Amino acid sequence: MAGSGTDKSKPAADLAGPVVILVEPQLGENIGMCARAMGNFGLKRLRLVKPRDGWPNIAAQRAAAGADDILEQAELFDTVREAVADCTLLFATTARAHDQAKPVRGPEAAAQEIVTATAGGATAGILFGRERYGLQNEEVALANRIVTFPVNPAFASLNLAQAVLLMGYEWFKHATQGALPFAMPERSEPASQHQMTAFFDNLVAELDRVEFLRPPEKRDTMLVNLRNIFTRMEPTKQDMHTLHGAVMAIAEGRKGPAKGGVLDGEQATRLRALLAERTASGADHDGGSMRGLARLLRRNPTDAERLLWEKLRTDRRFAGNFKRQTPVGRHIPDFVSFARKIAIELVNEGETDAISQDRAARKAWLEARDYQVVWVEAVAIEQQLDAVLGRLETAMQ
């Protein structure tokens, strides 16, 4: 399994890079960390000049974090002259001037020269000095160029692996033209103006419903600010679908189950049966569990309830007359019109005797208080909605 950014299943970068030459490195751990930095940026050729603790070194292997192939192919030399003998372009890294008349480059300029030289078949090398005191004057004298880093002059000393990493990064960046390993996937095309307008109109309608856009004199400014929020996002079509769904879910109060806040008829029937049985037995009538079950039903309407409620809200024959899941005394009808004294109850398929008895008792209680109770089959709402609405219109006359 791939680790944090390490994936052996992917092809390794195969580029002609410079030779990394460590002069008398003291700690095996530092050599291992240098190898790791080299592996990060596609450098393969490591040369060691008289490592203090000998070679091979188990501490180096532990610190290499998987860059074992670089350590296994590392070359060992007794002198710096031998290690750089085949280099036609050699850079010496140092934080000190050394008072030598030699071109001084930053890491970026040095990397550009290395890329050009290796592209022509030359062997380029980069010298890195000892952890304690870096490179000596005679070692710097062997180099064609000096490389120094733009660092805090009062604290210029870098860890050996940090110096290798900085040079490796600049070289790899130029060798690959700065190509990134991945980009944001394009999963959806940009949203059209038509789609943006439709979403925004729907959002404004819902905001008007809750009187968000007030006071009136600030409405136009608020709308401009809102529209700019979404246009700055440069959303995709999928973004618009998601935002539209989120707005509608908030507006319609879809809460509860992971299936999206909609109970099917069977689920609603089981909850109603449980409520009816507890009501009939008188158990926990005023307790938290009863209130919790009732809330769950209110917050998670069935498809039939949702269809009918949409029509009761928007059809001019009924708009403004009905409320959903509102208490009438100690009872809560599915829909009620206080002005017309009409209660609507939905009957789901497969209801138990307990539900039927509870509904009959509720009907008798409401009718005793001059409410007209209309029972509607849930399946009729889903299959013959117009006929149901006609029946309700007649009941309101």
271: confidence class by pLDDT, cuts 50, 70, 90: low
**What stretches of 253-369 show up as alpha helix (H) in DSSP?**
265-281, 288-299, 303-314, 353-367
**Is it the case that residue 198 has pLDDT exceeding 90?**
no
> Beta strand 323-324 with 104-105: parallel, antiparallel or unpaired?
unpaired
pLDDT digits (tens, 9 = 90+) for 144-162: 999 999 989 889 888 999 9
| The predicted structure's pLDDT at residue 205 | 86
Whether the link from the prior residue into 235 is cis, omega within 30° of 0, is no
Mean pLDDT along residues 27-35: 95
| CATH 3.40.960.10 given to domain 265-396 | yes
Show the tokens assigned to 368: 């005793």
Q: Tell me the percentage of the chain whose pLDDT exceeds 70.
A: 84
Domain ranges (residues) in the chain = 19-175, 193-252, 265-396
pLDDT digits (tens, 9 = 90+) for 66-120: 899 999 999 999 999 999 999 999 999 998 888 888 999 999 999 999 999 999 9
pLDDT digits (tens, 9 = 90+) for 292-338: 556 666 666 778 888 898 889 888 888 888 988 778 877 888 899 98
Q: Which of 29, 208, 216, 49 is nearest to 128 (CA)?
A: 49
| Full-model pTM | 0.53
Mean pLDDT along residues 246-271: 60
> Beta strand 46-49 with 75-77: parallel, antiparallel or unpaired?
parallel
Residue 109's CB is within 10 A of a number of other CB atoms, namely: 15
| The predicted structure's pLDDT at residue 265 | 58
Evaluate whether 171 touches 41 at the Cβ level (below 8 Å).
Answer: yes
CATH of 19-175, one of 3.40.1280.10, 3.90.1330.10, 3.40.50.150, 1.10.3300.10: 3.40.1280.10
CA distance 332 to 221: 42
CA distance 256 to 196: 29
CA distance 246 to 236: 15
CA distance 23 to 250: 66
Mean pLDDT along residues 16-21: 94
Sign, CA torsion 383/373/308/247: negative
- Phi, psi (deg, nearest 5) at residue 47: -125, 135
**Is it the case that residue 236 has pLDDT exceeding 90?**
no
